[in-house]
């Protein structure tokens, strides 16, 4: 599933939010959707490049990474839903 920038701009205007806030929201939704498609690649990215997660199980690592990103967004007062 590819979501073009045009859709993000449309959602931004419908909900009166900034484009960046919409990107954060779609990023989290995309991560939850795509993690099951190639779990090892997604988990590897989160483990090695983003959060340094120390978890051997790829599914758990992906879930932990998504949760850490969600927590970061909440801490920074970014939207996680509309």
First and final CA of the chain: distance in angstroms? 20
Tokens of 15: 């909900």
Tokens of 31: 């991560």
- Structure-model confidence comparison of residues 2 and 10, the more confident one: 10
pLDDT at 2: 52
CB atoms within 10 A of CB 38: 13
pLDDT (tens digit, 9 = 90+) per residue, 26-82? 778 888 888 888 888 878 877 777 788 888 888 888 888 888 888 988 888 877 776
| Rg (the chain; Cα; Å) | 14
Report whether pLDDT(20) > 80.
Answer: no
């Amino acid at each position: 599933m590819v979501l073009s920038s045009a859709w993000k701009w449309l959602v931004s205007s419908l909900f009166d939010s900034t484009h960046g806030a919409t990107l954060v929201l779609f990023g989290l939704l995309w991560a939850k959707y795509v993690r099951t498609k190639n779990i090892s690649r997604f988990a590897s990215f989160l483990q090695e490049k983003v959060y340094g997660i120390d978890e051997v199980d790829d599914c758990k690592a992906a879930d932990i990474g998504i949760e850490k990103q969600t927590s970061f967004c909440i801490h920074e007062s970014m939207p996680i839903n509309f």
